[in-house]
Amino acid sequence: MFHMAKEKKSSVRTDTSTHEFVTSKLEEISDDVEIIDLSDMTPEEAAETLGGNEESSRKKHKKEKKKEKKEKKSAKDDIDIKESKENDVETEDAEQPNGDALTVGQTQKIERELAEIYENADGSLPDMQTFEKRKGGRFLRAFITVVLSLGFLGGAIWYGYTQLYHRDGAFVEDDVILSIGGEDMVAYGEEVRYRVRFKNAQGVPLDNSVLELRYPAGFVFESASKAPDADTNNMWTLGPLQEGDGEYIDISGKLYGDLNERQSFRVFLNYTPSNFSSTFQKVATQETSIAGAPLTVALIGPKQVAQGVATTFTIDVSPEKEAVGTLPPHLALVFDSEAPFVTQDMKPKEGATLTDRTWILDPTTHASTTTIYTITGAFAGGEETLIARAHLIGWQEGESIADNRGSAAVSLTSSKW
């Protein structure tokens, strides 16, 4: 047992010396190598561990040396390239003519002056990579855009009017002027006056110009300021109308017709522009209403009547004191009914016609005197609402009672019986 213990002790000593040798060897190679604790390993295990770790450390150290050498070579190449460029710049500066050559001092002076121009109040230079737009100019740009657009539009309108629509020597239909003017409301039979104007207000002469008036049915022509064509009272041959030619014609007469009905006066100007072969026509219109009459008519009768029973109606014809119109030369009073009416008697009988239920009146008498007329007869038919009325009819010389129907009438509607 004693021998065995001695061997074990000797073996332990041997392991300790070997461990110290390996550790010292590694420290000589590199200070960065990790020191491994081999106290618990056998000599064989420690030798194997240290041998493998030493080989790995040597490879790593060799790789780092190679990388460091490569970096030094690259840095040297960069220095050579930079020195070569500086030499080239100096060579180019030396080759320039003396008048154009900029020395290093001049370049530095220019840079200082530019810095003084652009530097801020605190001496710092602005950031030239970012800029901020000012919003103040947006309104000005919009205003300038609107002004330019309006100017362009105005120029286009002026060009179109002067060059396309109203060129010198071109016919413009709107510049042929025609109008008629007169009273809007007149009394029955009142004397009226209408003025017709015409003018050629453009540069093209108007050939074969003819003026024509068309009167309403109740108008009676009396005179004109310019004599109409022969055998007419509504035609004027004007002939050629040069630029600026024109005049007016006054037409006078009396207007008859139904009360409150609008009467229309129409005037036509027919012409042929000298640079056309076709005929043009211009039209103007004036409307007039008859608002009152010199006579009034009142129809009076029973509210209820029996079928086949004689019924009498009274008609009062009276002059209108405030009327300014005149009566036509021929006048008639007429009784009308929607239902069949068999006339039995009419008073006064002078001028009466039973079949037509009409009295022929003397206008001069009725202009100042009230006259009462009666008519008696019987209605035929069943029970219904009847409408009867009395009205005046006037006409001119050379006409008949059916040609013109002017009335100063009052209508009466009877109730059911």
Whether residue 339 is found in the same domain as residue 272 = no
Look at residue 131 in the predicted model and tell me its pLDDT: 55
In the chain, how many domains are there?
A: 4
Q: Which of 73, 106, 131 represents a domain boundary (last residue)?
A: 73
**Is the distance from CB of 211 to CB of 205 less than 8 angstroms?**
no
Q: Are 296 and 410 in contact (CB under 8 A)?
A: yes
Report if residue 91 sits inside a domain: no
Written as six digits, the tokens of 201 are: 């207000």
Predicted local confidence at residue 325, as pLDDT: 74
Residue 355 lies in a domain: yes
Q: How far is CA 62 from CA 23, 26, 29, 53, 65, in A?
A: 20, 15, 12, 14, 5
Does residue 185 sit in the same domain as residue 273? Answer: yes
Quick one: 362 and 288 in the same domain? no
- Given this model, what pLDDT does residue 345 score? 94
> Are 288 and 301 part of one and the same domain?
no
Both 310 and 345 in one domain: the answer is yes
Rounded Cα gap, residues 393 and 379, in angstroms: 24
Is residue 301 domain-shared with residue 347, that is, in the same domain? yes
Residue 181 and residue 151 in one domain: no
Predicted pLDDT of residue 366: 76
Taking only the tens place, the pLDDT of each residue in 167-192 is 556 788 889 999 999 999 998 888 99
Residue 272 lies in a domain: yes
Whether residue 89 lies inside any domain: the answer is no
Whether residue 66 is found in the same domain as residue 144: no
**Per-position pLDDT tens, the chain of length 417:** 333 333 333 343 444 444 454 444 444 444 455 556 656 667 666 666 656 555 666 666 677 777 777 777 666 666 666 655 555 545 445 444 444 445 777 787 787 777 777 677 676 766 666 655 555 567 788 888 888 888 888 877 866 655 555 455 678 888 999 999 999 999 888 899 999 999 999 889 999 999 999 999 888 899 999 999 999 999 999 999 999 999 999 999 998 877 788 889 999 999 999 988 889 999 999 999 988 788 888 999 888 888 888 999 999 998 887 776 778 888 889 998 888 889 999 999 998 988 889 999 988 887 778 899 999 999 886 667 778 888 888 777 777 776 554 443 333 232 232
What is the 3-state composition of the chain as percent helix, strand, coil, each rounded to the nearest 5? 30, 35, 35
pTM of structure: 0.50
Please indicate, yes or no, whether residues 185 and 241 belong to a single structural domain of this protein.
yes
In a domain, 112, yes or no: no
Helix H or strand E encompassing 180: strand 176-181
Instruction: Tell me, yes or no, whether 231 and 204 share the same domain.
Output: yes
Q: What pLDDT sits at residue 393?
A: 84
What integer pLDDT is reported at residue 203 of this predicted model?
A: 86
Could you tell me how far CA 233 lies from the centroid of its own chain? 47
- For every residue of 217-283, DSSP letters joined together read TTEEEEEESSPPSTT-SSEEEEEEE-TT-EEEEEEEEEE--BTT-EEEEEEEEEEEETT-SS-EEEE
Domain boundary pick from 73, 102, 125: 73
The answer to whether residue 94 is domain-embedded is no
Task: Assess whether 285 and 307 both reside in one domain.
Answer: no
Kindly report the CATH number assigned to the domain that includes residue 281.
2.60.40.10
Six-digit token pair at 359?
Answer: 């009295």
Range of the domain at 315: 295-413
Which of 73, 95, 129 marks a domain boundary? 73
Residue 389 domain-assigned (yes or no): yes
**In a shared domain, residues 274 and 182:** yes
First to last CA, the chain: 170
**Is 121 part of a structural domain of the chain?**
no
